[in-house]
Amino acid sequence: MESLVEHLGFDRGARLLIVTADDLGFSYGTNIAIYESLRQGVATSASLMVPAPWARGAAYDYRGEDVGVHLTINAELDVYRWGPITQAPSLLDGDGGFPRTIDDVWEHADLEEVRREWRAQIERAILWGFDVSHLDVHLGGVELKPEFFDVYLDLAEEFALPIRLPDKKEEPRIGFPFRSLAKEHGVLAPERLIAPSVLGSEEDAMYAALVQLDTGVTELSVHPALDSPELRAASSDWESRTQEHALVAAHGALERAIRRSNIACIGFRALRNVMRSS
């Protein structure tokens, strides 16, 4: 049986990397940082938060890049809020935005309202002109309850889009075989997901981490943003966002480490094309 990398046109032993810049639409400075990372840096994909305040601005600046939908039913920040684009009372907290925590969503959300909201976010991205390449979920966890995962998987199958999933080794902790279920439905996903902390901050450390990656497709998820008073006021993690912008910028340490490590970079669109051709 052919491996995923072979379906993608590479040798069985190839190591492929998708560098995804999350939270497109979060802010004006985030949009600038992500498009710079895609057009000049090492990012190969991005994901759009359709309900976020600068999502329409991101659509205005879109030039055909590999962009998926960052399915959003949380607004985790205290003073910077966004909410549903559909009529979804169970997806509202007391101040009119999405719930702040995943547990709140799990406890209160009506699944049909979740399905309607997520579908509307995908359809709006398409209406705005995005050639949607994949789906992932904001905060990465709300989909890891079986009934929410079913909605996620149904939409991926309906729109023929690959998805982000945790590593298979997480299945015992999470409690159900999400990767096997995706495979049964013909939905592709990178085989593992890593955070920037895995790479360290120096080029040699990045190189060492990259050469130790298993064969197959790995996704690196980052959150680039430009430093600004708005970002500092909105988010307590502003500093890590600016550092991750530097990480994926052109001519940086990660770019050099990738070149040294004999890793091929691809986007989610490559996985989508395999899904649709199958």
Measured CA to CA, the distance from residue 186 to residue 181 in angstroms comes to 9
Instruction: Determine which one of 11, 22, 103, 214 is catalytic.
Output: 22
Q: Which of 167, 111, 116, 106 is nearest to 142 (CA)?
A: 106
Q: Which of 90, 86, 95, 84 is nearest to 106 (CA)?
A: 90
Crossing angle, helix 28-39 and helix 238-248, to 10 degrees? 20
Q: Which residues of 65-80 are buried (b: 16+ CB within 10 A; e: fewer)?
A: bbbbbbbbbbbebeeb
The reply to whether 78 belongs to the active site is no
The reply to whether 22 belongs to the active site is yes
Measured CA to CA, the distance from residue 105 to residue 100 in angstroms comes to 8
CA 247 to chain centre: 17
Q: Which of 48, 146, 53, 140 is nearest to 102 (CA)?
A: 140
DSSP code, position 91: G
Instruction: Determine which one of 134, 138, 223, 245 is catalytic.
Output: 223
- How many CB atoms lie under 10 A from the CB of residue 185? 11
Catalogue the active-site residues: 22, 223
